[in-house]
Amino acid sequence: MSTGFRLLEFLPCLKSWLTLPPLGYNCKTALVCTWEGKKRGQSGRNQRETFIFLFVFDCLVVPGKKKVWNWVSYLEEERMPAAPLKLFREYQSFPQGRNGFKAGMKLEGLDPEHPSQFCVLTVAEVQGYRMRLHFDGYPECYDFWVNADSSDIHPVGWCEKTSHKLLPPKGFKEGEFSWTSYLKNCKAQAAPKSLFKTLSTPVTPSGFRLGMKLEAVDKKNPSLMCVATITDMVDNRLLVHFDNWDESYDYWCEASSPYIRPVGYCQETGTPLTTPPGYKDSKAFSWERYLEETNSQAAPARAFKLRPAHGFQVNMKLEAVDRRNPILIRVATIVDKDDHRIKIHFDGWDRHYDFWVDADSPDVHPVGWCAKTGHALQVPLGKVDDLILLPVGQACPTPGCHGIGHVRGPRYGTHYTLVGCPYSEVNLSRENLLQDRLSGERPSPSSSMPKAKRPETPAPFLLGAGESSQEDSSQSR
């Protein structure tokens, strides 16, 4: 899609903003100035406008100035390759269709913070092939972003059909909720079934069954290999739950995941196995006895189809969701890798914003994904005229931050201060400030089962050859 077409589309909203730039300011700066004047209301609508606005901002050709940023010249300039398309999973790559979801549509979906819970959700905002989902009845700070083809979302009625428990909107008692009357009362539309991803291949029997035991990596503390149970199965994915831990550690994975191994793997490889907290005889743990005590079966070894390491290489470029500010997708470089993860660096940003992500994460996309799906792309810092010409005090002080997003979620579309900035020093060290949505608890490092972060040293078998984990495998977390 050409820039010209995009501009035409946005012309009506632009027209009202555009004023003549003062002498010496270029046309982009003029736009930013009018936007600054406009955005003070901080309503959701303004947030959207901001976004559209920055899209236009990034696309504008400034006469006599730098030309439009584009991937082709950038890769040439940087002398680095784009990550080849074949390295991406189907859902990371260019989608076949377009995103048909519209703001206001209702659906059912997984809570990323409580992956065992299916919840009542509303599409709050759509950007290209992505959308922001809102938990009905809860504050916007818990909203999260997914791709339109996410496996985590389902049409209204899916839970009932598949015998899954649906967590109703806040304020409803269990058993009180009915979609039919809820949609009527809200005057809302259920997202049409046709918009949801359907599996391209039929689900084949995997050998995994509900309740089977296995050994699995705690993804929040990747140095730990723990006793786990399969507590749910949907299509070709398994829900891994850690015995005697709360559900916030659960995750969904495929049979090919490097994070799951059959019972006995740790013993065979000399990897320490973390036994369930509170288990009476953790020093002399025996699977045989544990399976008997819990009246359960081990998942058969043949069901595990460990996939080969990914093919991504250091210095390859791609487009990645900014985890600190997930409305944004940025130009990124792979700066490190192990067998199943890559370390993302946002071009032009300080290295302390770098983070590790699974190579098969749905938030990682090939070069050109944003352009193809109609999503704004945040170009490398310093590659467009930044907001340096803005009057002092009107822009966020963090270098490179356009003031989009807010550390407290999408209720505030923009910020001007370090306190609200997702990138500021003060907020960088605070991983998760939110109370737990369901229990209302704040994450506390001193509680018996904190969600405190341990160093992200993966279990030894996740590292490439020649590397070793320095991390001990203590039983406490």
* Gap between the Cα atoms of 242 and 222, Å rounded: 13
Task: Kindly state the smallest distance separating residue 330's Cβ from Zn ion, in Å.
Answer: 14
Rg of the chain (C-alpha set): 24
Size of the site for Zn ion (CB under 5 A): 4
Q: Which of 338, 339, 337, 344 is nearest to 319 (CA)?
A: 344
Task: Kindly state the smallest distance separating residue 401's Cβ from Zn ion, in Å.
Answer: 3
Segment near Zn ion (CB under 5 A), from 122-130, 242-250, 289-297, 397-405? 397-405
Could you tell me how many residues make up the chain?
477
Report the residue number, 6 or 324, with the smaller CB distance to Zn ion. 324
Task: Kindly state the smallest distance separating residue 350's Cβ from Zn ion, in Å.
Answer: 13
* Gap between the Cα atoms of 236 and 254, Å rounded: 6
Report the residue number, 378 or 398, with the smaller CB distance to Zn ion. 398
* Tokens read off for 364: 């990682």
* Gap between the Cα atoms of 74 and 231, Å rounded: 46
Task: Kindly state the smallest distance separating residue 325's Cβ from Zn ion, in Å.
Answer: 9
Specify the residue for token string 């005229």.
385
List Cβ neighbours of 157 (8 Å cut-off, separation of 6 or more).
108, 179, 190
* Tokens read off for 214: 């296995």
Segment near Zn ion (CB under 5 A), from 90-98, 231-239, 362-370, 419-427? 419-427
Segment near Zn ion (CB under 5 A), from 49-57, 227-235, 269-277, 388-396? 388-396
Task: Kindly state the smallest distance separating residue 303's Cβ from Zn ion, in Å.
Answer: 47
Residues 423 and 407 sit within 8 Å (Cβ to Cβ): no
Task: Kindly state the smallest distance separating residue 404's Cβ from Zn ion, in Å.
Answer: 8
The correct pick among 240, 320, 359, 401 for binding Zn ion (CB under 5 A) is 401
Query: Residue 372's CB: how many other CB atoms inside 10 A?
Result: 15
- According to the binding rule CB under 5 A, does residue 396 interact with Zn ion? yes
- According to the binding rule CB under 5 A, does residue 325 interact with Zn ion? no
Report the residue number, 33 or 421, with the smaller CB distance to Zn ion. 421
Report the residue number, 120 or 401, with the smaller CB distance to Zn ion. 401
* Gap between the Cα atoms of 273 and 2, Å rounded: 55
Report the residue number, 364 or 396, with the smaller CB distance to Zn ion. 396
Beta strands, E only, 349-398? 355-358, 364-365
- According to the binding rule CB under 5 A, does residue 421 interact with Zn ion? yes
* Gap between the Cα atoms of 206 and 254, Å rounded: 10
Task: Kindly state the smallest distance separating residue 399's Cβ from Zn ion, in Å.
Answer: 9
- According to the binding rule CB under 5 A, does residue 146 interact with Zn ion? no
Segment near Zn ion (CB under 5 A), from 35-43, 231-239, 401-409, 441-449? 401-409
Q: Give, as one character, the DSSP assignment of residue 156.
A: T
The correct pick among 275, 325, 398, 414 for binding Zn ion (CB under 5 A) is 398
Task: Kindly state the smallest distance separating residue 426's Cβ from Zn ion, in Å.
Answer: 11
What is the pairing mode between strands 166-167 and 114-127? parallel
Segment near Zn ion (CB under 5 A), from 22-30, 43-51, 165-173, 418-426? 418-426
Q: Give, as one character, the DSSP assignment of residue 363.
A: T
Binding site residues, Zn ion, CB under 5 A: 396, 398, 401, 421
